[in-house]
Amino acid sequence: MHPALVPLVDRRAPADADHWEALWQALADRALERADALALLASLTAALPDGPSLLALVDSLDRRRPAPPSAPWPGTVNVVGTGGGPSTVNISTASALLAAATGARVVKSGSRAHTGRTGSIDLLDRLGVPLTSSLDHTADHLATHGIAFAGPFVYPGQLARLALLAVPTPIRVFGRFLNTLGPFLAAVPVAAQVTGVSATQPPPPLRTLAARPGGPVTWLTTNPVGADELLSFTDNTVHLPGGDTRTLPAGELVPADGTLGDLAPVSRDEAADHFRAVLAGRTSAPLRATLSLNAAALAVASGHRDDWATAVGEAGAALDDGAALGLLERLTASRLRGGSRVG
């Protein structure tokens, strides 16, 4: 095993920034073997590192990226979940469009599916929605549409290189760790972030990452079902910075009828048509209520609205009056006009 990996794998003490920096330098120097990559990824997947080690990991990757803008984009929220949990339709992608249709400024970062499900990027490809290719391009999309779907440029290349080094072992073997850490690696200068956690309580290391200095104001959401999005038919908890929580009791903001079966995913071949039907309001009452609740969270987290009930009502109206579907169609048309850039 390469010496740079030893303190990261044996976990006798927290890994500091120097340990991670030695790993990234060895990776850049092509000094790591496939067995090294497999050992590290297996260790990270078996159990999350402690909070200080994860903070050092994120900081070490940030130091290797181009400097972001000097100030966060005001009134802008990123929505990205940890993945895992019960299989559902692409709730976060739909609620991002729904929130943007009500006037909130939304960035959606995400990835391709590491399992059999359709990930947000897979769905956007099928819909013909363009991804942004730089921070300037993302800002253009926000200015034009009020929403931007960030491309893979927002994620550090080091983890992708580790995954490539592990080939032919498929990335889905390590998907749990990559999904869990992913929401905290997207380099988008937003003011706020809403991250659904597929657990009944956020693991302590994720709480540490959510509160990291210099990061966006981050909400972690959980529920007893273990879904990484708010659900209409169960209580939900929003874990706020500083350790405060906000409970959203089932039935308080939206009707509490329904089950996970009402949110079940469709086949990949049907995903795009089904998604358009959902945004057109042609969907079950439980899915409509769930989308409205998640869109409201984005509107409130971004500062666009300070009242949950108002935000929920506006989300429902955006389904009924065609605003959400119209936004999707404008995004699709922008790609057909040939632009990797919008303007």
pLDDT at 79: 96
C-alpha separations of 98 from 218, 270, 299, 328 in Å: 20, 20, 10, 9
Predicted local confidence at residue 336, as pLDDT: 65
Q: What is the mean pLDDT of the chain?
A: 90
First to last CA, the chain: 50
What is the C-alpha separation between 240 and 207, in angstroms, rounded? 10
Topology (CATH level 3) of domain 73-150+186-336: Pyrimidine Nucleoside Phosphorylase; Chain A, domain 2 (3.40.1030)
- Residue 313 — pLDDT band, cuts 50, 70, 90? very high
Q: What is the pLDDT of residue 118?
A: 62
Q: Which of 158, 181, 205 is nearest to 61 (CA)?
A: 158
Q: Return the higher-pLDDT residue of 336 and 178.
A: 178
Residues 107-159 have pLDDT tens digits of 999 765 544 456 788 899 999 999 999 999 999 999 999 999 999 999 998 98
Token pair in block for residue 326 = 């119209």
- What confidence tens digit (pLDDT) does each residue in 162-175 have? 889 988 988 777 77
- pLDDT over 90 percentage in the chain: 69
Rg (CA), the chain: 20
3-63 is classed in which CATH architecture? Up-down Bundle (1.20)
pLDDT tens digits, one per residue of 62-109: 888 877 656 789 999 999 998 888 999 999 999 999 999 999 999 999
pLDDT (tens digit per residue) in 18-45 = 999 999 999 999 999 999 999 998 888 8
Per-residue confidence (pLDDT) for residue 177, from 0 to 100: 81
**236-257 average pLDDT score:** 95
Taking CA atoms, 54 is separated from 18, 32, 50, 122, 204, in Å, by 13, 21, 6, 28, 11
Q: Where are the domains of the chain?
A: 3-63, 73-150+186-336
- In the predicted structure, residue 288 carries a pLDDT above the cut 50: yes
What pLDDT shows up at residue 72?
85
